[in-house]
């Protein structure tokens, strides 16, 4: 049926093969330095130049406006979720959270010790991204936070909402959708993402933040948690994860060469459509519980008629060389993560498996 293992892991997830091959070629001697990039000082001229180039490429890829800083941080998206509150809210100031699934809940949990958390919207069950017109927030809040793509539930808010002029700054967790399509960053106070889906390897994250937010006093905290200071020091307050940064750079360059976010939107919509078409045309054998206009183009969760069939599907997929299709333990079922690095060919192979499996077990 297929010619190679296709990796549908949710994150860490597949990287573009050409990126891995380049890293392999350069592993022992990067940039003519006679050493690996991971063996060199982050403060040396070659790495500083690399880091500047990566930021510049990322700014081009995501069309980041000049009045935003780009930080490269360790600790993952979860650490950012806690530090948002410490940096951009006064002690116990109100902050409004849109809760559209598992990762919104995580974001809220990380902030709870530091701010007065209020829920701006929370559908039950999690089957859609709530309409921004129905979000509740206060003008006095530090910020409004939402999750652009719920990686486990496969729920997306693909358009960056435009809030009224008197609304607090909007902050987006775009961990599993950044660079998957054009995004109106200028509508946001900040946007962040762990790299391990679309941007490269785990171990580095990106925080893009508007200058005025960096001027906020925030809460008492150690210097290492001060985003304004990190910005001042080019994300090098301490030793950064240099190899991950380098791999992120290769991945960003690859996305630019592939045509950027517009090209990826087209490809990703087509890939997602391929899978949703099989699901919707399966007479209920495959089920996706998300309302059509909130369906993710990055993570496609689906369920078979029984947990036994879910397990059999996963088992069979593994035998055929598919990787990472087992759904997250929070909701079970199957999940196909189809980030930018996944080609249409891999998705077609999965669609073929689904069609064939239904023929045999439907």
212 is in an annotated binding site: no
> Is 96 in the active site?
no
The nearer residue to ligand PMP, 12 or 321, going by C-beta atoms, is 12
Which has the closest alpha carbon to 160: 178, 139, 138?
A: 178
Which of 57, 135, 197, 358 is the catalytic position?
197
Tell me the residue ranges of DSSP E strands in 76-189. 94-98, 116-121, 144-147, 149-150, 155-156, 170-173
How many CB atoms lie under 10 A from the CB of residue 233?
13
Structure tokens, 128: 């859609």
**How near is the Cβ of 230 to ligand PMP at its closest, in Å?**
17
DSSP 73: E
Distance CA 277, CA 153 (A): 18
137 classed as catalytic = no
Of the candidates 176, 175, 181, 339, the residue with the CA atom closest to the CA atom of residue 260: 181
Of 173, 245, 271, 310, the catalytic one is 173
Per the annotation, the verdict on 173 as an active-site residue is yes
At its nearest, how many Å lie between ligand PMP and the CB of residue 160? Answer: 15
Q: Are 224 and 232 in contact (CB under 8 A)?
A: no
289 is in an annotated binding site: no
Which of 78, 258 has the CB closer to ligand PMP? Answer: 78
Which positions touch ligand PMP (CB under 6 A)?
11, 76-78, 103, 147, 151, 173, 175-176, 194
Residue 274 annotated in ligand binding: no
SS3 358: helix
What minimum distance in Å lies between the beta carbon of 219 and ligand PMP?
21
**Residue nearer to ligand PMP on the CB measure, 93 or 147:** 147
Q: Is 310 flagged in the annotation as binding?
A: no
Asked if residue 147 belongs to a known ligand binding site, the reply is: no
Separation of first and last alpha carbons in the chain = 19
Nearer to ligand PMP, 148 or 278 (CB): 148
How far does Cα 31 stand from its chain's mean position? 29
Choice among 6, 30, 103, 137 that is catalytic = 103
Residue positions forming the annotated binding site for L-glutamate = 43
Residue positions forming the annotated binding site = 43, 77-78, 103, 151, 173, 196, 238-239
- Catalytic machinery residues: 103, 173, 197
């Amino acid at each position: 049926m297929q010619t190679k293992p296709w990796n549908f892991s949710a994150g860490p997830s597949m990287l573009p093969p050409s990126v891995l091959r380049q890293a392999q070629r350069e592993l022992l001697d990067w940039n003519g330095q006679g050493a690996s990039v991971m063996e060199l000082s982050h403060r040396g001229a070659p790495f500083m130049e690399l880091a500047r180039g990566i930021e510049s490429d990322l700014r081009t890829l995501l069309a980041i406006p000049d009045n935003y800083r780009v930080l490269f941080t360790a600790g993952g998206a979860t650490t950012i979720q806690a530090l948002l509150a410490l940096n951009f809210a006064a002690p116990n100031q109100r902050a409004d959270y849109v809760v559209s699934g598992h990762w919104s809940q995580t974001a809220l949990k990380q902030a709870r010790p530091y701010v007065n958390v209020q829920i701006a919207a929370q559908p039950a069950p999690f089957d859609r991204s709530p309409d921004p017109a129905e979000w509740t927030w206060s003008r006095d809040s530090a910020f409004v936070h939402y999750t652009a793509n719920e990686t486990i539930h496969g729920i997306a808010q693909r358009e960056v909402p435009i809030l009224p002029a008197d609304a607090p700054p909007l902050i987006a967790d775009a961990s599993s959708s950044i660079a998957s399509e054009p995004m109106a960053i200028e509508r946001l106070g900040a946007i962040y993402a762990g790299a391990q889906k679309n941007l490269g390897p785990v171990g580095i994250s990106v925080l893009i933040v508007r200058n005025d937010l960096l001027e906020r006093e925030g809460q008492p905290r150690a210097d290492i948690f001060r985003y304004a200071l990190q910005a001042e020091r080019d994300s090098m307050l301490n030793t950064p994860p240099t190899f991950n940064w380098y791999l992120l750079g290769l991945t960003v360059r690859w996305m630019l060469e592939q045509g950027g976010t517009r090209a990826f939107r087209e490809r990703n919509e087509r890939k997602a459509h391929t899978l949703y078409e099989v699901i919707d045309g399966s007479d209920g054998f495959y089920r996706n519980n998300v309302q059509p206009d909130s369906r993710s183009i990055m993570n496609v969760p689906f369920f078979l008629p029984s947990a036994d069939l879910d397990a059999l599907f996963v088992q069979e997929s593994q035998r055929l060389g598919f990787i990472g299709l087992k759904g997250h333990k929070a909701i079970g079922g199957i999940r196909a993560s189809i980030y930018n690095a996944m080609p249409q060919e891999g998705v077609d192979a999965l669609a073929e498996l689904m069609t064939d499996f239904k023929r045999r077990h439907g």
